[in-house]
Structure 1
């Protein structure tokens, strides 16, 4: 859950969100605050398996059973992963991640992360403090492979507000 909104997935893969509606972070096509869970109708027909809400922030990611990643909310610094900084109030597919076998998603403060079944880590968004793990502190508006982990098989990831963590299959 984010600091201003929450999300839950039903057993049949429907996504519900509620909380502060500012920036369209709830994905309902508006900026209306919701005091109780409301289904994200734009994702009807997709079986959602994971959801991530930005910490201290206003972006949301959802992962479908087909491996599609959707983003919406505030787009500052490119954290929605679609090439610009525009926000949106409805879920849109992050095409760059299609076909990569994404199995896990995370949102930090102004950045996002995806892990693939093959163990690759992709990051995008605000890059100051080197939080994206790409060896530079600039902002990245589309998912970018973390080259420093390319020779590793990452099996789990986590994020804090300003950092990412990765665990490899060797436990490092």
Structure 2
């Protein structure tokens, strides 16, 4: 399995540009097309296989599944200050690195030189359900991105997975129900209002439709149904929901007028009545407070989804990658810095006959795991 990245690269979290590298498409800060991540090697020169990637704004953590199962960091402050061998999962924020081992969980302060973790918790090997879940879930609760790290969860929720946004959380239960809580000012909780919730509350609009996966962006939320349908809600100012965004359409219209030199955006023959009718037909969504079914064209089933701060990426059952939302750092992978409020396929992987198997969004960038088409067919 190979990993590619694109988008925000100011700290070298995707790749470090060499002075001899003359390729125009690689910028020190913005990488606008998928670029393969360099492989890490151990002390014996063995190439380590990356099984999982987690990313924050300035850093990337790679978990290697072979050998001693260690963690490597790239980006700002890329040295690991703690022993990470035999690690089973990892998460990273701007301030802390959290590692999971078979017998414990540790959170290390990346801003301080210390030989002991900022927080730790022992894990009993017989912990019920543990091993079927990943960070930020831990036995009995979940790990937050900042102190206090540990938060309890009611055992009645039977959490299967958990996604943390900037100020809200999504929980997927074993039955496929979705619960949300936290800040609701952008409709990111999906309850039809902009109110906040202190405790997990079921998203009633999805009740009776079992979900298989959840993801959260800065202020938007996404989930996948068991049938491969994609549901979105929350903030859509940058088109991150894949729904019509007024700000993006206005920017596109202004660019079009500037490129054509046309000072009048409408044909001179259009009547005032026709213009008014056109305006009525335009429906823009800034905040979607209820879950909305997102249609991807051509129709396809979704197998994985991830969210950045203001962009979204989804993998189809056929191994295609679609991205949409804010793209000013190239995080959409379309060889441009253009944002989009419509899901668009990243053609690079199709052209290279690569089958996308996973996607992980950092705040302003995107990381993609791929295999060759023939490998995907043989599995």
Distance 2:241 2:194 in 1: 17
- Indicate yes or no: 2:185 matched with 1:22: yes
Distance 2:319 2:342 in 1: 19
Is the CA contact (8 Å cut-off) linking 1:67 and 1:98 kept in structure 2? no
Which of 298, 301, 305 aligns to 1:101? It is 301
Q: Please name the residue that 1:75 is paired with.
A: 236
Distance 2:173 2:187 in 1: 21
Q: Offset of 1:99 from its aligned partner?
A: 3.6
Q: Please name the residue that 1:139 is paired with.
A: 339
Distance 2:296 2:317 in 1: 16
Which of 351, 354, 370 aligns to 1:152? It is 354
Q: Please name the residue that 2:214 is paired with.
A: 51
1:107-163 per-residue CA deviation (whole Å, 9 max, x = no partner) reads: 101100100121100000001011100111111111000011112101111110111
Distance 1:34 1:97 in 2: 35
1:8-34 per-residue CA deviation (whole Å, 9 max, x = no partner) reads: 111111100000011111000001110
Which of 191, 194, 208 aligns to 1:31? It is 194
TM-score for both structures, normalised by structure 1 = 0.94
Q: Please name the residue that 2:221 is paired with.
A: 60
- Indicate yes or no: 2:364 matched with 1:162: yes
Equivalenced residues, count: 169
Q: Offset of 1:97 from its aligned partner?
A: 5.7
SS at match of 1:23: coil
Q: Offset of 1:98 from its aligned partner?
A: 7.6
SS at match of 1:149: helix
Distance 1:24 1:166 in 2: 28
TM-score for both structures, normalised by structure 2 = 0.43
Which shows bigger deviation, 12-21 or 79-88?
79-88
Q: Offset of 1:62 from its aligned partner?
A: 0.8
Q: Please name the residue that 2:105 is paired with.
A: none
Distance 1:97 1:51 in 2: 21
Structure 2, gaps ≥5 residues long = 1-163, 247-284
Q: Please name the residue that 1:125 is paired with.
A: 325
SS at match of 1:128: coil
